[in-house]
Structure 1
Amino acid sequence: MRIVIAGGHGKIALLLAEQLTGRGHSAIALIRNSAHAPEVYATGAEAVVLDLERAVVTDLAATVQGADAVVFAAGAGPGSGAARKYTVDRDGSVLLAEAAERVGTRRFLQISAMGTGLPPAPGTDEVWAAYIDAKTQAEDDLRSRDLDWTVLRPGRLTDAPGTGTVTLAPPRLERGEIPRADVAAVIVALLDAGHTAGRTLELVSGTTPVERAVAALAD
């Protein structure tokens, strides 16, 4: 498969690219800063410099053309203000989905977050509230499109080594942690799992092997 990854220099994206290329797939990582290209190439993926906050849909469509799937793994990241939660986490996803529709790339995996779709608790930090709202709007936009989409909401991300075992189910799971490496492994398994199209899934660490957890969703 040929997979385009938006947010290609992010931690999950780099792990995902490495896992994909290790299985013989072709990964194209969209990055904003050309200085990040060596880290992308080290995973075996191809780097394409394209800033989602400045790109137009025709530019993005040209890159997505011919891809079997796209993964939205972009995010404004720690330290960014509320405004960039909308321009990256929401608008970037909308732009990628529109590009995928234009060129007929139907499989779309969106990395969201647990807590999305719920109103922020009273007293929630302004930036976190904007992040959840932006993710919610991005999910809503994706559900309105004629794509084979899957939304994945991981729990609190850690840099611990992957365990290969998870809990993966429709909302709402009890909140928990999940290593980024396990998130990447689940995305790899979901890409070719047609029975998960049109599903919103939550993910935390657990005791079920990744492939079995994905297969069980067909039951």
Structure 2
Amino acid sequence: MRVLVIGANGQVARHTLTKLNEAGHTPVAMIRNAEQETAVKEKGAKETVFADLEANFDHAFNGIEAVIFAAGSGGHTGADKTILIDLWGAVKAIDTAERLGVKRFVMLSSMGTVDPDKSERIRHYLVAKKLADDHLKRSSLDYTIVRPGSLTNEPAKKLLKLEEEIQVRDNTITREDVAIVLAEVINQKTSYGKTFEILNGATPIQQALGKL
């Protein structure tokens, strides 16, 4: 399957390129400039496409069968970039997929999006993610929304806690484990129309996903 990874130069997204490649998919990395091309190809991108979420990016969807939206404005930017990338960029990607007939869409979101008012420090970020998620839920796409907790750079543990909303947030999750989940659900029809939160836990990833 030709999978467009939007925000392919991000930390989780780079792991996702590797996992998609290992699973036999054709990951297509959507990046903003040529300086990022070598890095994403080293991580497993079979193809690259240059596009900017703040402009028109219809061309990035040519021949695409599925989308993973993993773009984020990053912690070093202000609320304005969060709105433009995490909210408006996501909304445009959803609308473009719907308009061009790309039915499968996986959204990398965030834990805490259920109620952004519980977090003052990153409330603007969680509001943007929630509004983007809600827009995806209203679409006609075969969507899955994955909401990880706090991310670490440790090697994958391949063990999850997976719930619609995790009440006891007693752990973190590695970026590599999030990438494994994103790559696994691409072909998993039981994940269509599902939204769930993930942390590292005690259940093997495939077993946890098998309960969806």
Range into which the TM-score falls when normalised by the shorter chain: over 0.9
Aligned to 1:172: 166
* SS of 2:182 mapped into structure 1: helix
The structure-2 alpha-carbon separation of the partners of 1:214 and 1:121, relative to structure 1 and needing over 3 Å to count, comes to: closer
TM-score by length of 2: 0.95
Deviates more, 1:207-216 or 1:170-179: 170-179
1:49 CA drift (Å): 1.6
Counterpart residue identity of residue 113, structure 2? T
- How far does the alpha carbon of each residue in 1:86-145 deviate from its partner, in whole angstroms, 9 at most, with x for none? 1000111111111111121111000110110304237x23xx111011001101111110
Aligned to 1:8: 8
Aligned to 1:187: 182
Aligned to 1:117: 114
- Answer yes or no: is the 8 Å Cα contact 2:144–2:193 preserved in 1: yes
Give 5+ residue unaligned stretches, structure 2. none
Aligned to 1:49: 50
- For residues 178 and 198 of structure 2, what CA distance do their matches in structure 1 show? 8
Aligned to 1:61: 58
- Is 1:153 aligned to 2:147, yes or no? yes
What is the count of residue pairs matched by the alignment?
210
Say which of 124, 139, 145 aligns to 2:133: 139
Structure-to-structure mapping, 1:197-216, within 5 angstroms:
197-216=192-211
Q: CA RMSD in A?
A: 1.3
1:7 CA drift (Å): 0.4
* SS of 1:120 mapped into structure 2: helix
Say which of 99, 109, 112 aligns to 1:102: 99
Q: Percent identity?
A: 36
TM-score by length of 1: 0.92
Aligned to 2:76: 79
- For residues 38 and 52 of structure 2, what CA distance do their matches in structure 1 show? 17
Give 5+ residue unaligned stretches, structure 1. none
* SS of 2:4 mapped into structure 1: strand
1:158 CA drift (Å): 0.4
* SS of 2:140 mapped into structure 1: coil
Moved over 3 A (4+): none
